[in-house]
Structure 1
Amino acid sequence: MDPFERVPLGDTGVTVTRLGMGLAPIGGLYSPVGDQVAREAVDAAWEHGIRFFDTAPLYGAGLSERRAGAALHGRNGYTLSTKVGRRLRKNNGEPETMWAEAGDAAPVWDFSADGVRASHQESLDRLGLDRVDLLHLHDPDDHYADAVGTALPALVELRREGRIGAVSAGMNQSAMLTEFARTGHFDCFLLAGRYSLLDHSGLADLLPECERRGISVIVGGVYNSGVLADPRPGASFDYRPAPPVVIARAQAMAQVCERHGVPLRAAALQFPLGHPAVASVLVGTRSPEEAADAAAMASVKIPGELWRDLVAAWLLDPEVPVP
């Protein structure tokens, strides 16, 4: 694949590179990053041809957005997405466990129409920009009624006003996204961790629905929290320690890949792009080295025999589309 090819999101006119950079890690996910390394990570992604960047208020309680805006300031020709559904408030001194540099702000849920508009403007202020191309409803798992009844109409209005280019939702599940697709108001979706070498659940509902409707899908979590990047004991799978059976399966995939001279990371990154509804994959990176590695893995030439060998080893369903 050409990881730097620009492809459209539905019929919106918004385009993304096949490979995008997820900016959660530069918000200090689990450990500090620092302004300088965060900037170097974005710079490296840019130098390698990545022009799609995804952030959110949640990531470091606004820190990812601030760092992204500083790194992208003065550049042109990129696509930027952020998210709504959480707004930042002072956290009353409660410690933050996931975001190592979050400071004294914490997210609170808000899928109201006013909350969506305010969140959008607050993101622009943190980014130091006058526009983002794409807005996702962020993790509305327990807020379906508000997401559809108040947040979605606000996003549609922002799109009508020309203040955003595309309406989306981003989640770690496919079922609710499929329900969203049937409203007819979404241009694309961000599906995290549910269409990977280890988890094909998005193929059961969301991907065929989006293909029928011309809705583009962005796939995140292609390494399933790390086990498909390095399938060693102790690796993570869906943000938890990977069960032994998952590690064994990933190790077996790695052995097949090794026979073809292909890193497992390359196969995991490129696999989702075999489905016609998938426009782009997002890889979260926290350093220039990780950004360079993502670009390299996206550029590896993968022979068709590798996919056939995964099927022959009962590691991949023969009905699953491959690149």
Structure 2
Amino acid sequence: MNTLGRSGVEVSALAFGAAVIGNLYTEITEEQAHEAVTAAWQRGIRYFDTAPHYGLGLSERRLGAALSQYPRSAFTISTKVGRRLEPAEGGGDDLANGFAVPATRRRVWDFSADGVRRTLDASLERLGLDRVDVVYLHDPDDHAEQAFREGYPALEKLRSEGVVGAIGAGMNQAEMLTRFVRDTDVDVVLCAGRYTLLDQRALTELLPAAVERGTSVVVGGAFNSGLLADPKPGATYNYAAAPPELLDRALHLKSLADRHGTTLRAAALAFCAAHPAVASVLVGTRSAAEVHDCADQFETAVPAAFWQELRDTGLLPADAPVPAEEPS
């Protein structure tokens, strides 16, 4: 277990991302969602991340139900604020936002202090919990002023009151997260898709700033939304069809991994975990089988010769940390 910043909140090195059990892209059953969470527990995963955005609350409800069978002190859970859910009329589905659920609610951007409190209270109700361990400001890209002026101080107050143990921000970019690390007292930032085998932009400023400040980083999107899990025509990158040049690069990485006797999935996870600022790697899985596969890959040592070839051929920057070679 690793501690988030100076918070005392502990997380497992591999974490369960619960967006998928909120019916991300396609529907899964209640039973499948429950089995995925149970499999994560069986594999020693003790950090679970969710958000109201994921399936308009479905992810939080399913995650809370599945975790109710375990002692509350035995796991760490994070959720997010910034998108308030309100009742909606008109029917239809939420696929335009990526989730195969009925559009019975609508999202309202709200990083105000009142919005943060209300959103967290609603999340606790859906989760069936009296507290969460970590709260992130969720995707404040277009709402920076309100997020820094109102949302962040509201989280700081919740932390000082002991309502939450750790606070931070979660985004699909590195630049504003660097600002959070440098200009606020966040414990952790969740950086999705910006520190992977295909995209190391977090290496430039975010990760060094986190090391300097003693702030933890949780890395999400280790597979860049699918491309690094199974590179093939039609694979997704950044939640859209992968550009041809990135598909070619991913296929090349896969062939190198195969040649070195490992898998691209194992390498993708190991790379994210190797940086000293990274406390946990967050992976979204939709079934027990996917959970077990991710755990297996995470436990697999990747040969040092693989990393050396990536550096020698310019596929990885020379200053990107890689795992220490495991003794044979």
Which TM-score bucket, shorter chain as reference?
A: over 0.9
Q: Distance in 2 between matches of 1:245 and 1:211?
A: 32
The reply on whether 1:75 has 2:70 as its aligned counterpart is yes
Deviates more, 1:92-101 or 1:165-174: 92-101
Give the match for residue 7 of structure 1.
2
- Give the share of equivalent positions with the same residue, in percent: 53
| 1:92 Cα deviation after fit | 2.1
Equivalent-residue separation in structure 2 for 1:317 and 1:183 (angstroms): 27
**1:177-217, Cα deviation, whole Å (9 max, x unpaired):** 11111223201000000000000001111111111000000
3-state secondary structure, aligned to 1:250: helix
Q: Is the 8 Å Cα contact of residues 93 and 102 (structure 2) preserved in structure 1?
A: no
Worse-superposed segment, 267-276 or 87-96: 87-96
Q: How does 1:99-178 map to 2 (within 5 A)?
A: 99-178=99-178
The aligned residue for residue 24 of structure 2 is 29
Q: In structure 2, which of residues 34, 45, 49 is the aligned counterpart of residue 50 of structure 1? A: 45
Aligned length: 318
8 Å CA contact 2:225–2:239 kept in 1: the answer is yes
Q: Is the CA contact (8 Å cut-off) linking 2:93 and 2:100 kept in structure 1?
A: no
State the 1:102 CA deviation: 4.0
Secondary structure in structure 1 of the residue aligned to 2:319: coil
Contact 2:78 2:134 (C-alpha < 8 Å) held by counterparts: yes
The question of 1:86 aligning with 2:80 is answered no
The TM-score normalised by the length of structure 2 is 0.95
AA aligned opposite 2:65? A
Query: Aligned equivalents of 2:300 and 2:248: distance in 1?
Result: 24
- Distance in structure 1 (CA, Å) of the matches to 2:208 and 2:141: 21
Compute the displacement of 1:103 (Å).
4.2
Residue correspondence of structure 1 range 284-303 to structure 2 within 5 A: 284-303=284-303
Give the drift of 1:74: 3.3
Q: For 1:182 and 1:80, locate their aligned partners in 2 and report how far apart those are by CA, in whole Å.
A: 25
Amino acid at match of 1:166: A
Q: CA RMSD in A?
A: 1.0
- Give the unaligned 5+ runs of structure 2: 324-328
Q: Which runs of 5+ in 1 are unaligned?
A: 1-5
Q: Within 2, Cα distance between the matches of 1:177 and 1:165?
A: 19
Q: How far off its partner does 1:101 sit?
A: 2.0
Q: Residue 3 of structure 1 aligns with which residue?
A: none
Deviation at 1:8, TM superposition (A): 0.5
Describe the SS at the equivalent of 2:189.
strand
Indicate conservation of the 8 Å contact 2:228/2:264, yes or no.
yes
Partner SS for 1:143: helix
Q: CA deviation at 1:225?
A: 1.0
Q: Deviations for 1:88-113, whole angstroms, at most 9, x for unmatched residues?
A: 11232253112112441121111110
Match of 2:93 in 1: 95
Q: Which residue of 2 aligns with 1:191?
A: 191
Task: Tell me the SS of whatever aligns to 1:101.
Answer: strand
CA contact (8 A) 2:93 2:101 kept: no
CA distance in 2, matches of 1:48, 1:114: 38
- Aligned residue number for residue 255 of structure 1: 255
- 4+ runs deviating over 3 angstroms: none
Query: One-letter code of the match for 1:150?
Result: E
Query: Which of residues 46, 59, 63 in structure 1 aligns to 2:58?
Result: 63
Contact 1:63–1:102, Cα closer than 8 Å, also in 2: no
Name the CA distance, whole Å, in 2 between partners of 1:291 and 1:121.
29
- Is the contact made by 1:134 and 1:164 (CA closer than 8 Å) also made in structure 2? yes
Whether the aligned pair in 2 keeps the contact of 1:28 and 1:102 (CA below 8 Å) is: no
